[in-house]
Amino acid sequence: MLVDETGRIAAVGTDDAVPSPPGVPCERFEDAVLLPGLVNAHTHLELTGLAGAVQEVSFPDWIRRLRQVKPARGPAEVLAAAKQGVRDCWAMGVTAVADTGDSGAVIQALAELGGRGICYHEVFGPHPAQLDESLAGLRSRVGELRRFTSERVRLGVSPHAPYSVSRPLYRAAAAWAREQRLPLALHLAESCEESALVAEGNGPFAEMWRGRDIPVHAGEGRTPVAWVDELGVLGADTLCIHMVQATDDDLATVAARGAAIAHCPLSNRAHAHGTAPLGAMLRRGIRTGLGTDSVVSVGGLDLMGEARAARAIGGLDADTALRLATLEGAHAIGWGEAIGALEPGRRGDMAVFALAAGGPVESVLSGTEVLLTLIDGKVVHR
C-alpha cells in the first residue's frame, strides 16, 4: 500500500507491485491484517469518562438522569473527554465517526487532533412555544462551530428525538439545515416508550410531558418514522439512529426517501429496547452502518463487538459484518466515495490488526489487537 503526499491511496497490491519511493516512511508487520479504517456511525464522544454514571433504570429515567449528570463537567473537562473519546476510537481502529452532541466539544476535538468525522449538533425543544428560542440557539451555535469544519471534519444538525422535539421544531430545523446544506441525524424508533408517546399519547414520556405542561399529540396512531416523515425530516441527507421499533412500512418509507440507518445492537440490548430488523434493512438496500452509541450506554467503543452482534442478529456472513463497519458505514454517513475501502484514489484511512486463528476476516471480527491506525496515511495510533 502506498499513500501519496495528499493523503490518498496511490497503489495497492503485493510488495513487488507497489512502488517504494525514496524518502517515504515504510511500515512492515508480520502476522497482521490491513483493513480500511473502521467507521463508527453513531457516537456521543463528549460523554467519554461517564461510563457507569447512570445506573440501569427505565429508558425515560435514564434520559432524565443523564441530563442531570452532564452539566457537572465544565467546558475544558468536556473537551478533554471528547479528545480522549477520539483517541479511544483510534485505538479500536476507527478512523471516522458520526457524532451527536450539544456541547460542540467533539467537532473541536476532531479539528485539533486531526481526526475525521461528522458532528451533528443537537437541538431540543418539546414544547411548541420553545420553537423560536431553540431555532435561534441552533443557528447561533452552528455559526460558531463552522470554524472547525474542513475536508476532514463536517457539521450537521440533529433534532434529537420525537420525545424531545416538537412538531414545529422538527419542521423548522430540517428546513433550516437543508437551506444551509447541512445533513440531519435523529434518534428514531428507538424504544417502546417513544412509540407510545407518538402513536397514542401515553406512557412514561407522555407523563413527563404532561408534568411539564407540554402538549401531547395524543391518539395520532402514527409510528415515529411516519410522524417525522410527514414533517419533512426524512431524506437522502438523513441518518436515522437505532430504528429498533421500525415496521415494514417504516423501512419502506426510509428506503423510498433514501435515508440511512445507524444500527447500535449493543446499546439497544443494554436498554432492553429489543432487536432492530437488521436483515430487513439490508434486504431493502438501505444504507446501514454500525454505531457504538455512548459509553454511558455500553461502557466502551468496541465497534468490532457491534459487528459481532450485528452478525448474529442479521444472520450475516463475516464479510458482510465487516463491510457494515467499513464501506457500508462510510456510505451511511455520506463519505462512501472517499473512505471505507482500500482502493487507489480514496483517502489513506486504514488500520492494522493482529492476525489470529480462523482467517483474516474472522480474526479481526474476533477482536484482535489494533497495531496501527492511520488517517490520510498519517499515524494517529500505535
DSSP secondary structure of 128-156: GGGHHHHHHHHHHHHHHHGGG--SSEEEE
Find cell 431540543 and name the residue.
124
Question: Which residues are CB-neighbours of 28 under 8 A, at least 6 positions away?
Answer: none
Give the model's pLDDT for residue 120.
98
Closest CA to 134 of 106, 98, 100, 174: 174
Closest CA to 194 of 156, 241, 234: 241
Q: Is 311 helix (H, G, I), strand (E, B) or coil?
A: helix
Question: Which residues are CB-neighbours of 283 under 8 A, at least 6 positions away?
Answer: none
Closest CA to 101 of 243, 296, 340, 338: 296
Give the model's pLDDT for residue 218.
66
Domains and CATH numbers, the chain: 36-340 (3.20.20.140)
Could you tell me the sign of the dihedral formed by the alpha carbons of 165, 169, 174, 179, in that order? Answer: negative
Cβ contact 264:289 at 8 Å: no
Could you tell me the sign of the dihedral formed by the alpha carbons of 372, 343, 184, 63, in that order? Answer: negative
Angle, helices 131-145/167-179, rounded to nearest 10 degrees: 30
What cell does 141 get? 451555535
β-bridge pairing 117-123 and 153-159: parallel
Per-residue pLDDT of the chain (382 residues; tens, 9 = 90+): 999 999 999 999 998 899 989 988 899 998 999 999 999 999 999 999 998 888 767 898 889 888 888 889 999 999 999 999 999 999 999 999 999 999 999 999 999 999 999 999 999 999 999 999 999 999 999 999 999 999 999 999 999 999 999 999 999 999 999 999 999 999 999 999 999 999 999 999 999 999 999 999 766 789 999 999 999 999 999 999 999 999 999 999 999 999 999 999 999 999 999 999 999 999 999 999 999 999 999 989 999 999 999 999 999 999 999 999 999 999 999 999 999 999 999 999 999 999 987 788 898 998 899 999 999 999 999 9
Q: Could you tell me the strand order of the sheet in which 38-43 lies? A: 38-43, 94-101, 117-123, 153-159, 184-188, 238-242, 260-263, 287-290
C-alpha–C-alpha distance, residues 50 and 27, integer Å: 36
Find cell 454514571 and name the residue.
53
pTM given for the model:
0.96
C-alpha–C-alpha distance, residues 291 and 98, integer Å: 8
Dihedrals φ, ψ of 350, to 5°? -160, 165
C-alpha–C-alpha distance, residues 211 and 207, integer Å: 6
Strand partners, 121: 101, 157
Length reported for the chain: 382
DSSP secondary structure of 249-299: HHHHHHHHHT-EEEE-HHHHHHTT-----HHHHHHTT-EEEE--B-HHHHS
Cβ contact 38:361 at 8 Å: no
Angle, helices 192-200/204-211, rounded to nearest 10 degrees: 60
